[in-house]
Structure 1
Amino acid sequence: MTRWNAPVASGPLKAVVELPGSKSMTNRALILAAQAAEPSVLRGALRSRDTLLMAAALRALGVGVDDEGTDWRVTPAPPSAPAAVDCGLSGNVMRFVPPLAARAAGPVSFDGDPHARVRPMGPLLEALRALGVAVADGRRGLLPFTLAGTGAVEGGRVTIDASGSSQLVSGLLLSAPGYARGIEVRHEGPPVPSAPHLEMTVRMLRDAGAEVETGDDVWRVAPGPLRGGEYVIEPDLSNAAQFLAAAVVTGGSVTVRNWPSATVQPGDRLRELLPLMGGEAELSGGDLTVRGTGRIRGIDADLSDAPEVAQVLAMVAALADGPSRFTGIAHIRGHETDRLAALVAEITRLGGDAEELPDGLVIRPRPLHGGVFHTYDDHRMVMAAATLGLAVPGVEVENPGTVGKTLPEFLDLWTNMLEQ
């Protein structure tokens, strides 16, 4: 399917949605389980392109990964070489796997989709060089590149600028227990975005038995064995954005099942942000319900710790009764696509008024019309377009299949939500 006609809501929704597991937790659990002292089981693992790429990357390094069903089994093994890793368009794979592959005795090559070749990798590759790993990338700081490992990494102190992505820090921390001296990562530069994802990395490392210390822009992981066992993967709360936003857009009610009462997932900020935009949110009995009030308000919000929800909120803002300003998201220019430019282009294409800021964007609502909504091979642009299409007839969504990156079931879940 090259285009999908986004369905218009016939009235206020009243729906219940169950989401698959978190991509971020699944991929971190896979990396940790690959290094453990005994096998592990991932309960409720997400099966999507990004997680399957991670599983394939680990298999290429000699790790056993049985990814049948929703409970995945990992049999750890020291990383082996030679190997070739396909990163696809996954930031997790391109930033989490190289620090692990650096321990292999031999060459490990990395490449990915065309747009992956422009996503920032320089700080991570320079950090690996500082740790004594030979990196062949033509000094471009981008895919493709090859690591020439010697079978071990000494570890120690490194300083990087991680303002482009928190994954640059997480990747180093997740493999540090296997380094002879562990690691101390110090960040110098503009603030590191997506702080909740760094907290997720730290918590999952500690839960696996690692000794982790944190300070102001500094993280230390001591060397030592990791435990195997069981990982319970939470539902992906970032992927709840479009479903919960649908309640606000239609003036209806949408419930997401199994919402954790305490979590570090950045999508949990939806409980705060959607009420500011005119909804009501209630967490009860393990489920989160958002209700629309018939009014959509513009907001001024810093999304630096929850950039994954920016695209869906931008669509809600385009339907609001006043302007919105989203800041703290300059780094999403380097995600699957330049997300700020893409949002401005598509909102403007459909008659709206959107403008880029140095670290975000301003949206001034205007009457919108249908048309082709380009998605730039970005799964979250598809989800954003679907949200807008609830209220704007004639939105034709380009390449809806790209949702397979993190939520292959999206089109079915969306249709089922509208039919309840």
Structure 2
Amino acid sequence: MPSDDPVPTTSPWTAPTAPHAQGTAGGDGTLGGALDATVRVPGSKSITNRAYVLAALSTGPTLVREPLDSRDARLMLGALTALGATAEHTPDGVRISPLTPGSGETDVALGNAGTVARFTPAPAALGNRTVHFDGDAAIRHRPLSPLLDALRDLGADVADEGGRPGAPPFTVHGHGGLTGGEVDLDSSASSQFLSALLLAAPAFERGVTVRLVGTVPSEPHIAMTLDMLRRFGAAPERHGREVHVPPATLTLADYTVEPDLSTAAPFVAAPLVAGGTVRIAGWPRETTQPGDWLRSLVAELGGEAVFERAPDGSDLLRVTGSGHLPGRELDLHEVGELTPVIAAMLCFADGPSRISGVAHLRGHETDRLTALATELTALGGDVTDTADGLVIRPAPLRAGTFHTYDDHRLVMAGAVLGLRVRGIEVENPATVGKTFPGFVDAWHAVLG
């Protein structure tokens, strides 16, 4: 079953160069004061899709305010609707009504959305439907097996459907619920495996106790999942490498989604690379989002990131940079999704840099480490991938095509390169619709 929402293919996009930007990596141009703009990024994909799942598992309707409207979010709504929930679009947000047990057979289109592939099999096992899962060709190569094995250990009836074992296409045969209990889980390939079990755990008869095997990347995403469970009425507990979620009745009438701080990464990078100031509207002062780490990165790279009040009284984050970057060694294990933008930014540093701790990126939308090393080197960079990251050495960049491999974060990385290199042709910019359909227009607006 192919996805019913294919990624559009478009002509390459010529990434705009920042005003007054001169020189490339290894050059000696002066870049001061190029930018002065304010931008608002859409709602967090991670929060939106977790809120949708928790709302669908609740006992009453939930109004999800300011959700992300993107391909991945629409695929999640489509999946939950196929499982028996309802989604009503209102002027104030999306109102989700709970899953109904149902019967018969249904299809879930995954696209290339990891959250949909990982967060919806457990809810499928709670109903009485036979649910077929499949999506884009890329989703069939993304890691999923540890989660499906854990669901089987907890009593789910999951059948492989002739593809690679433990990957789409697969079928979940619902038998009216899951007993739950204790399970071992290797979540080293994706923290979403753990989040998937925890989000559904309140609906299991005995809840779930997960014993973690191996390392878990992106701990902030686990903190996000636990925080949202508590907001919806669950009582999760974590003790070292063991996480327990007892049975609970979920309910929350109203939930507001924060702006996506990972999607804000290229706008944070822009003044550091090109010089000047960019303000990101709505940046929360307290958050579990891993993207909030960008504030400390700005300071480490010699810039300034400070909160201000907008004229309407809301918060914004003002980021100011000079256009001159030092080389750095960065362990991005907890914030791996920021790697493409940070790697592009460090191509303009005045010394060598190393990114480590992100071996799990080889199983994202594409093998991001190989893709970045290949594409940045093709543009004149000196970039090599290691077992768990990248080594970036100063080298002049040149014009050329930056291939994006149907990966939204690579489109954003290409945009950052274009700030100081004229003639960067970013392949298939429409793939950024996975998280920010209006990204190209917003980027042009920031650059004036």
Q: Is this a same-fold pair by TM over 0.5?
A: yes
CA distance in 2, matches of 1:77, 1:259: 33
Q: Which residue of 2 aligns with 1:333?
A: 362
Shift of 1:79: 4.4
Q: Which residue of 1 aligns with 2:89?
A: 67
2:137 corresponds to which letter in structure 1? Answer: P
Q: Which residue of 1 aligns with 2:267?
A: 243
For the pair 1:83 / 2:106, whether they are aligned, the reply is: yes
**Using a 3 Å threshold, how does the CA distance of structure 1 residues 240 and 179 change in structure 2: closer, same or farther?**
same
Question: RCO (CA 8 Å, sep 6+): is it higher in 1 or 2?
Answer: 2
Q: Which residue of 2 aligns with 1:21?
A: 43
- CA displacement 1:136-173 (0-9 Å, x = unmatched): 11571111100112111000011011000000000011
Q: Structure 1 unaligned runs (5+)?
A: none
Shift of 1:307: 1.0
Q: Which residue, out of 119, 144, 155, partners 1:96?
A: 119
Shift of 1:19: 1.1
2:425 corresponds to which letter in structure 1? Answer: E
The within-5 A match list for 1:302-317 is 302-317=331-346
For the pair 1:171 / 2:202, whether they are aligned, the reply is: no
- CA displacement 1:55-96 (0-9 Å, x = unmatched): 000110110111355611011133434221011111100000
Q: Which residue of 1 aligns with 2:3?
A: none
Q: Which residue, out of 50, 57, 61, partners 1:39?
A: 61
**Using a 3 Å threshold, how does the CA distance of structure 1 residues 70 and 373 change in structure 2: closer, same or farther?**
farther
CA distance in 2, matches of 1:266, 1:2: 32
The within-5 A match list for 1:262-281 is 262-281=286-305
Q: Which residue of 1 aligns with 2:412?
A: 383
The within-5 A match list for 1:112-191 is 112-137=135-160, 140-189=165-214, 191=215
Q: Which residue of 1 aligns with 2:27?
A: none
Are the counterparts in 2 of residues 21 and 235 from structure 1 also a CA contact under 8 Å? yes
Q: Which residue of 1 aligns with 2:26?
A: none
User: What's the % identity of the aligned pairs?
Assistant: 51
1:67 corresponds to which letter in structure 2? Answer: H
Q: Which residue of 1 aligns with 2:247?
A: 223
Are the counterparts in 2 of residues 55 and 67 from structure 1 also a CA contact under 8 Å? no
The 3-state SS of whatever aligns with 1:223 is coil
For the pair 1:318 / 2:326, whether they are aligned, the reply is: no
Q: Which residue, out of 212, 226, 234, partners 2:258?
A: 234
Are the counterparts in 1 of residues 43 and 257 from structure 2 also a CA contact under 8 Å? yes
1:261 corresponds to which letter in structure 2? Answer: R
Q: Which residue of 2 aligns with 1:58?
A: 80
1:148 corresponds to which letter in structure 2? Answer: H
CA distance in 2, matches of 1:293, 1:178: 52
Are the counterparts in 2 of residues 6 and 390 from structure 1 also a CA contact under 8 Å? yes
Shift of 1:274: 2.2
CA distance in 2, matches of 1:80, 1:201: 27
1:398 corresponds to which letter in structure 2? Answer: E
CA distance in 1, matches of 2:224, 2:323: 35
Q: Which residue of 2 aligns with 1:6?
A: 15
CA distance in 1, matches of 2:263, 2:301: 18
- CA displacement 1:258-299 (0-9 Å, x = unmatched): 111100101101001122223221123321111112311111
Q: Structure 2 unaligned runs (5+)?
A: 1-9, 21-33, 310-314
For the pair 1:399 / 2:433, whether they are aligned, the reply is: no
1:97 corresponds to which letter in structure 2? Answer: T
CA distance in 2, matches of 1:333, 1:77: 34
CA distance in 2, matches of 1:323, 1:388: 17
CA distance in 1, matches of 2:157, 2:54: 23
2:251 corresponds to which letter in structure 1? Answer: R
Q: Which residue, out of 318, 333, 354, partners 1:289?
A: 318
Q: Which residue, out of 392, 397, 400, partners 1:371?
A: 400
1:43 corresponds to which letter in structure 2? Answer: R
CA distance in 2, matches of 1:101, 1:314: 38
The 3-state SS of whatever aligns with 1:165 is coil
CA distance in 2, matches of 1:69, 1:141: 40
The 3-state SS of whatever aligns with 1:164 is coil
The 3-state SS of whatever aligns with 1:249 is helix
Are the counterparts in 2 of residues 266 and 305 from structure 1 also a CA contact under 8 Å? yes
For the pair 1:212 / 2:236, whether they are aligned, the reply is: yes
The 3-state SS of whatever aligns with 2:209 is strand
Q: Which residue of 2 aligns with 1:105?
A: 128
Are the counterparts in 2 of residues 280 and 293 from structure 1 also a CA contact under 8 Å? no
Q: Which residue, out of 243, 255, 279, partners 1:255?
A: 279
CA distance in 1, matches of 2:72, 2:45: 7
Q: Which residue, out of 225, 228, 233, partners 1:201?
A: 225
The 3-state SS of whatever aligns with 1:105 is coil
- CA displacement 1:162-193 (0-9 Å, x = unmatched): 0000000000110111110000111111x100
1:42 corresponds to which letter in structure 2? Answer: V
